[in-house]
Each structure stands twice: as C-alpha cells, then as structure tokens.
Amino acid sequence: MFSKKTIRDIDLKRKTVLLRADFNVPVKDGKITDDYRIKQALPTINFLLAHSKRLIICSHLGRPKGPDDSSASLFPVAKRLQQLIDRPVGFATDSVGESADKAVKDLQKGHVLLLENLRFYSEEENNDHEFAKKLASYADVFVQDGFGVVHRAHASTDAIAHYLPSVSGFLLEKEVDTITNVMHQPKRPLMAIIGGAKIADKIDVLHKFIEIADFVAVGGGMANTFLAGKGLNVEESLYDRADVPVARDIMRKAAREARKRPFIFSIPVDGVVSKKVDKFSKTRIVDWGAHVIADIEHYPRRVPKTATRLLDDERILDIGPFSGSFIAGGVQLANTVIWNGSMGVTEIDGTQGPIGPYSQGTNIIVEAMIGEFGNKPFTVVGGGDTVGYIQAHKLLDCFNHVSTGGGASLELMAGRKLPGVEVLLDK
C-alpha cells in the first residue's frame, strides 16, 4: 500500500499546482517519436485541471549541452500535450527567470503552462535549494508524478519539497504500488528476465532476484560478462571486463541458492553471432555447450569446433534458439514475470525493427509473456530499450504494467529508497 499522500488527499481548490512530470520523450527533427510518457501523465493532469485553479508543469528532456540547445527544448511537448488535453498549453522559454515569471503571472484559471527544460540550469541536477525555492514560488502545492526521476535527488525531486506541501500523482502511486507488490507479494512462481547491455546497472537487482525469485534468466550484452566469467572466449562481443569478478560472485550466490531450494539461474548456452551489426550481415548459431552429441546414425560423433566457439572477429548479438526456448518455457510455468532488458540487439540504425536478425530471442520470450503459447502470467516491464521494443511492436496493451522509469524501477526492485518519494507527505 502506497504510504504517501496523493492528489486525492489534499485540498486543491483555488490552488496553483506545480506538477513535476517526466516528459523525457524522444524528439527527432522537432517531432516527438514516442509520446507514451506524456499519455501516462494524463490521468494526473486531468484530475488537477478539474480540481485546482491553475496548473504549471515542469520536466527535463535529455541531457542538454546548455541553455541554447534547441534539440532539448520542451516546446514540441507543449504542442503535443495541447493536442492530448484539447485545451491551451502555454510555454515559458525558461524554467525560472523573466519568461517564466511573466508566463506564470499571465496564466489564466483552468489553463496549463509548461516550463522549459529544467536541465538547462545546472542547479537542477545539483539539487540547489535557491533554484528549488524559485520554482516553488510559482505555486501553492507541489505534485510529484515523474517516476522516471524520483531515484535522483534533484531540485525538482528533493529540494522543492522543503518549500511546498508535496504529494504524489496517480502515475507515481501506480508505479510504486505495482512494483512493490510484485517484489513482496508475487503470485508464484516468480520469474525475472534481465537483459540489456551493462551488468553494472543491475548488480543489486540481480542479487535481490536471486534471493526472492524462482527463476532468473540473464540475456543481452550483460550475459556476455557472465559467459566470460565461465571461461568462454567472447571475442569481439560487448562485455565488461572489469565486472567479470562480479559476474562470478553472482553465479556463486545463485549456485548456493539452488542448493537450498528449487531455483534456476540461467545464462545463455547458445547465441547468434556475426562479424558486424546490420540488417544484412551473415549470421550463424554457436552452441558453446555442445562439445559432444549422441552417437546417432548419419550424424558425426563430434561437433565441429566452429560450431562451439566464436571466430576471432565475431561477436554475440542475440541469445540462441535453445536459450530462447528454455526461457520461454520458464515463462509458461510462471505466474508472475518481471522483464527488464532485451535479449539481443533489437535496435539497428536507431530504430526498433519488427523483425531483425538479432531480435529472435527477445521475440520468442515476448510471445510467451503475452500468452501465445498458452499461459499468460502477470507481467511487469521496465527499461527504455525494453519499452521501446514493445512499442515498436504495438504490444503495450499486452502487458499488465509497462513502467515509465528504467533506473527508478531497478532501484525500487533492489529495495532502495527513492529520494523523490521519501520527501512527500506521509498519509
């Protein structure tokens, strides 16, 4: 149960509200290519419009190089938000300063104002109290609904709560409740599928899942670090050499857990390899576990070495068919599945293709999670590349919960406190 006050628990009548949203959406050539995060904020925005006097929204976008970085402007978001809520959305060309001051002063009852990118000011990420105090001067109440940023102690997530009564929006409440429930009271068996590029980002959550899950499957680029830890020569594959000892520690912990109770920790036993990453490069499957096969007539007794190891200039770009089928089989036995990170390279040339040479491992696991093979578990999905994948495949509605926060969801799953949640008023 969410322990913080929400917008239901505070008097908003005749109040000006400052809403911290997470509008960090992809923008290309001035156009938004994915408005999922904006749409997820609409329940909170509509409630505030119905119950408060005026609404001011602040957010960040990307990592701007400076206040003149037009590619990081929130202006396209203001235009898209105006379309979604069908009412005027004003735009201030700064988040504090003359433009913001005038825009706030001129803001009419029932209207919306979006401030410019908070990260145009270094004070935002430095959690500067004077900057937060200036932001707070624009409103009577602060509402935190940017789940994707609450794991950071920034001016708009932490310091601002010292200057205004601060409560949660509906999205933040839903995110925290859903993730907390699947971690503490899942319907078992509980399965965690963890992929993506770097093991360093997911060390804590891997340790946590080994302790509480029934099946943990590792894939993606981070799996290569585990393979290197088992002695496999991964050649040109993406992996973190410095984290090989960490991977070994995690595998030892998993082995100890498996001796105490029924538990599976899975890393790939085969993979799709290629010499380069593009849509047309030649691929092959390498099965590093198949040193000897059964003595069956018409089949060689020994597998060629090239079938069990990578060549000098090859790299692992996806899990293989056996590994994908094994994980999909685990999904069929699970009642709750948490997925964060793709199993291979699903994005090529900056786009998520529906069918790619290195996305088949992810495809079969997704098919299992959405019930294509019979069982349909309760599914929770997080991580930017993961959400991008299911959006490209138009599968958002096939999952029970698709998180708007990659880093925040991992921190919450690992059991850490989120600064932007801790500062809110308790119920």
**Is the same domain home to 264 and 304?**
yes
Instruction: Give the residue from 174, 205, 221 where a domain finishes.
Output: 174
* 344 classed as catalytic: no
- Do 191 and 149 have their domain in common? no
Same domain, 398 and 288: yes
**Do residue 139 and residue 219 come from a single domain?**
no
> Are 233 and 301 in the same domain?
yes
In a domain? residue 145: yes
In a domain, 424, yes or no: no
Residues 200 and 81 reside in one and the same domain: no
For residue 350, pLDDT beyond 60: no
Confidence (pLDDT) at 351 = 56
pLDDT 10s digits, 246-286: 999 999 999 999 999 999 999 999 999 998 888 778 889 99
CATH number of 273's domain: 3.40.50.1260
> Would the pTM count as exceeding 0.85?
yes
pLDDT band at 25 (very low <50, low <70, confident <90, very high): very high
Is residue 420 a part of any domain in this protein?
Answer: no
Mean per-residue pLDDT for 58-70? 91
What are the tens digits of pLDDT across the range 191-235? 999 998 888 889 999 999 999 999 999 999 999 999 999 998 887
Task: Please state the rounded mean pLDDT for residues 37-52.
Answer: 97
Same domain, 149 and 190: no
pLDDT in tens, 289-331: 764 444 444 445 555 666 778 888 889 999 999 999 999 999 9
Same domain, 103 and 126: yes
Residue 121: DSSP 8-state = S
Active-site residue identified among 79, 198, 275, 309? 198
Residues 87-105: tens digit of each pLDDT: 999 999 999 999 999 999 9
Rounded mean pLDDT of 156-171?
98
Last residue of one domain, picked from the residues 152, 174, 196:
174
| Residue 237 shares a structural domain with residue 380 | yes
Task: Provide the 10 A C-beta neighbour count for residue 133.
Answer: 16
pLDDT at 346 over 50: yes
Mean of the per-residue pLDDT values of the chain? 91
Specify the pLDDT at position 293.
44
Please indicate whether residue 31 is annotated as part of the active site.
no
Name residue 55's beta-bridge partners: 17, 112
Rounded mean pLDDT, 55-76: 93
Is 302 found in the same domain as 168? no
Specify the pLDDT at position 352. 56
Residue from 4, 37, 54, 80 carrying the catalytic annotation: 37
Q: Is 233 helix (H, G, I), strand (E, B) or coil?
A: coil
Q: Which two tokens stand for residue 288?
A: 């590093």
Same domain, 159 and 213: no
CA distance linking residue 88 with residue 153, whole number of Å: 32
The alpha carbon of 47 is separated from its chain's Cα centroid by a whole number of angstroms, namely 26
Domain of 249, in residue numbers: 186-413
Domain count, the chain: 2
Residue tagged active-site, from 62, 329, 384, 415: 384
Active site residue 119: no
pLDDT at residue 427 greater than cutoff 90: yes
| pLDDT given for residue 294 in this prediction | 41
pLDDT at 343: 94
Q: Which of 174, 205, 240 finishes a domain?
A: 174
- Is residue 259 within 8 A of residue 234, CB to CB? The reply is no
395 compared with 296, residue with greater pLDDT: 395
Find all residues with CB under 8 Å of 338, minimum gap 6, and list them.
Answer: 182, 190, 191, 192, 193, 209, 213, 379, 380, 382, 413
Residue 180, in any domain of the structure: no
Residue 418 covered by a domain: no
Q: Give 266 or 349, the one with higher predicted confidence.
A: 266
Q: Quickly count: other Cβ atoms within 10 Å of residue 351's Cβ.
A: 11
Instruction: Compute the distance between CA of residue 383 and CA of residue 372 in angstroms, rounded to an integer.
Output: 23
Is 309 labeled as catalytic in the residue annotation? no
Pick the more confident residue, 386 or 4. Answer: 4
Segment 155-178 shows an average pLDDT of 98
In a domain, 372, yes or no: yes
CA end-to-end distance (rounded Å), the chain:
11
